[in-house]
Amino acid sequence: MVGIVWWSGHTVKRGRSAGPDPGDWSTLSDWNRSQTEHQGAHGRSGRAGGREGGLGTMARNALRRQPTLDEVAVRAGVSRSVASRALNNAPHVSPAKREAVERAVRQLGYVPNPTARALATRQTGAAALVVSGEDPSIFADPFFAQVIVGASAALEEADLHLMLCLAASDRGRKRVAELMRSKGADGVMLMALREDDPLARVAEEAEMPVVFGGRPVGPAPRWYVDVDNLGGAREATEHLVSRGRTRVATLCGRLDTGAGRARYRGYRDAMLAAGLDPLPPREGDFTEPSGAAAMAALLADHPEVDGVFAANDNMAAGALRALREAGRQVPADVAVVGFDDLAVAGITDPPLTTVHQPIAALGREMARMLVALVDGQDPTPLILPTRLVTRASA
Amino acid sequence: MVGIVWWSGHTVKRGRSAGPDPGDWSTLSDWNRSQTEHQGAHGRSGRAGGREGGLGTMARNALRRQPTLDEVAVRAGVSRSVASRALNNAPHVSPAKREAVERAVRQLGYVPNPTARALATRQTGAAALVVSGEDPSIFADPFFAQVIVGASAALEEADLHLMLCLAASDRGRKRVAELMRSKGADGVMLMALREDDPLARVAEEAEMPVVFGGRPVGPAPRWYVDVDNLGGAREATEHLVSRGRTRVATLCGRLDTGAGRARYRGYRDAMLAAGLDPLPPREGDFTEPSGAAAMAALLADHPEVDGVFAANDNMAAGALRALREAGRQVPADVAVVGFDDLAVAGITDPPLTTVHQPIAALGREMARMLVALVDGQDPTPLILPTRLVTRASA
DNA sequence: GATGATCTTGGGAGCGCTCCCACTGGAAGC
DNA sequence: GCTTCCAGTGGGAGCGCTCCCAAGATCATC
């Protein structure tokens, strides 16, 4: 059996049958104690700290520690270099040794330590998805869940892990900034950035691969994936017009977001193209209550309205509720079109005609673009198509 | 200016004003090239690979590489040890030197390298949230988004990052297993595990802190956070009974999940306690369509039903739709109660009476429990209370 | 003023991996 | 037969940090 230096000067016998050695235990215990005392800036103490007086659990954990590549190499009768090459199936390894390494890996149950690998390669093997916004609950929108599903699948293909950062609080934003500056991830996907979000600048300064999800307001970033908000909104409005609606209004989303603005522009363009007067936008914040409020206000000011394009399904659902409460029939009196085609759209009464956007694809393409970027390629921005889904509301 | 060894035997001059040095550039370029050739098992090539012919960008990136703790120490005129202690505000550092280190950190824009720290401390600074299940789209349920919001906030307090793992595909499950075995995270939160999910065993074998979200079917794990499904379901059923409903059925969720089973049991208990006959459960899978289908089937077999407890809001929404299609009035003919109190519950027509469960709190408490575990404490399982929210449907 | 006790300090080993490089021996080319 | 080449190999430095330890500085105590 090989002797492995555990800490400076102390030796732990290894091998499956090696019995516990009191001397080593006390060493470990000392080490753990000092770990605990030296608790770092982040306020957590050492991992293996003194639960239930310690010896039993701690010693067991410590002795059964992960095998290292060195041990695999020894067992396979090769050098660490060869073992490493075999593991990463790199060239310059004879079939025999490759086989020996594989066997040793299996016997020892070896799993490479990703942290060590990350330190050596300067790649963390993780990509971060940052969702920015004041209110953490905006994230509760099922929209993000779908983005995540898509991104997760694409990252899985590239064998990257997904770190999720909800940059709502100041503290959260600071952590994201630090993550980027410290290169704690190989790349970042940035979503829902407001105008002048400082995180955009931090990302740039950190010179780290960044893909934007949704073109932010302002100058276009170099890499982004977006949905054809303009075209979708135009199509929605055209649909209302084609149904003979002439007094069509829009309940727009926050105009300091790219999507909110583009969807409003699409509405406006379509109205003008049809020779109709666009009504001034009613601004909401993409939530159901804001849609209901905007709709109520709209009805008060413009009772003659006969068609409504809402910036998303949540707001459309709110509009439907406000219309119901005002005694208007949908679509007979007022036709309503939403945007997103989330699950809600099928559940509302009446079911919502809405602009379908490929949300999971958005996530997937963001992730793929990021992977390409991390790989050193230079992908081009991408706009994903939308399509109108006709249901009962318009 | 200090000379820093870049790779073996080559030296790069450092400092803000150090001009580019052709010799070093070619070195870097060689290094990058070999990085690209040696692409590893994971199929991605070296990070800084040859985009746009290389020299410009690559050299700039490479030269402006992150300052290290050593450089901070040199600049502050102290040893690396002192710098490290100052940084982690550990004791045994004189105020003067502490100040000097802080200044150097500011001047250099130093950010500690989390990977190196992780390697040295054997703590990754990340916790994983694993969502298990065949279908990745189950994750699209807004439920998870809220769990994430809660967990994220709690992890933020402990300065841990959140890794999100959707263990849907075989590949995904394998990656999660490897993540656990390689200790790629300090702890894991496991959600939506089916009966006999192999990930549970892997987690145990990896001897890594694990908190279950929702008590899985089978023997209770040592650490879990759950919602009072039993009590909530009982309360929902009692509510229906108290409204004079006697032929009350349940549309239950998957009975191989802890929540599905507990909610069914709660219904059953309440019925028996009220001296009523529980109807055999109609099983769905927590989705809207499955709720509609189950409701339709129920109506076919038991047209006399006058009350329905659905295992969650999605299924309740489906039931509402099926009832509407069957021409039944809610709540006049059939009263409906859901479970979850998600956003849908307020949007359905009529709005849903439902059992509110503190989902964000579930995520938060899972994360807190995990942090405690990582800290070496031994927290006790937690059951969070539910409460009935009465709206129009029952 | 000598003897500890405590606080500060820097050196150095270690975390577990990757990758450069120098070296070997056999196949190919002349 | 001799170079030339290259697949195969192992040694060793390096990634950037933490933490042990021994030694020096400072202070209190008798």
Is A329 near chain B, with CB under 8 Å?
no
β-bridge mates for residue A249, sequence order? A308
Interface test with B, best of A61, A110, A115, A369 (most B CBs within 10 A): A115
Question: Is the Cβ atom of B47 within 7 Å of strand C at any atom?
Answer: no
Per-residue pLDDT at A366: 98
Cβ-contact A213, A220 below 8 angstroms? no
CB atoms within 10 A of CB A170: 8
* Angle A140-B336-A143 from CA coordinates, rounded to 5°: 15
What tens digit of pLDDT does each residue of B182-194 get? 999 999 999 977 7
Label each residue of A261-313 as H, E or C: HHHHHHHHHHHHHCCCCCCCCEECCCCHHHHHHHHHHHHHHCCCCCEEEECCH
What tens digit of pLDDT does each residue of A280-314 get? 999 999 999 999 999 999 999 999 999 999 999 99
Is A324 near chain B, with CB under 8 Å?
yes
Averaged pLDDT for residues A106-127: 96
Comparing every residue's Cα with the C1' atom of nucleotide D14, the nearest one is B7
- Which nucleotide shows the minimum CA-to-C1' distance to residue B41? C18
β-bridge mates for residue A19, sequence order? none
Per-residue pLDDT at A64: 60
At residue A382 the predicted structure's pLDDT band, cuts being 50, 70 and 90, is very high
Cβ-contact A73, A83 below 8 angstroms? yes
Per-residue pLDDT at B197: 82
Using a CB-CB cut-off of 8 Å, the residues of chain A touching B150 are: none
Cβ-contact B232, B386 below 8 angstroms? yes
Residues B137 and B127: their CA atoms lie apart, in Å, by 22
- Tokens 């006399």, residue? B304
Averaged pLDDT for residues B47-71: 51
Averaged pLDDT for residues A373-386: 95
Return the structure tokens found at A195: 């105008």
Per-residue pLDDT at B64: 60
B45/A288 touch (CB, cutoff 8 Å), yes or no: no
Of B216, B321, B156, A221, the closest CA to residue B308 belongs to B321
Residues B69 and B254: their CA atoms lie apart, in Å, by 54
Give chain A's length.
394
Is B166 near chain A, with CB under 8 Å?
yes
Of B337, B346, B315, B319, the closest CA to residue B393 belongs to B337
Cβ-contact B290, B315 below 8 angstroms? yes
How many angstroms separate the CA of B32 from the C1' of D16? 20
Alpha carbon of residue B34 to chain centroid: 38
Of A176, A260, A182, the closest CA to residue A214 belongs to A260
Question: Is the Cβ atom of B88 within 7 Å of strand C at any atom?
Answer: no
Q: Which helix (H) or strand (E) holds B3?
A: strand B3-5
Q: How many CA atoms lie less than 13 Å away from A6 in the CB half-sphere? A: 21
For residue B208, is pLDDT > 60? yes
How many angstroms separate the CA of B82 from the C1' of D28? 25
Question: Hey, what amino acid is at A100?
Answer: A
- Percent of chain B beyond pLDDT 90? 70
**Which residues in window 31-90 of A are less than 7 A from strand D by Cβ?**
31, 34-35, 38, 40, 46, 78-82, 85
Strand B353-356 with B382-384, pairing: unpaired
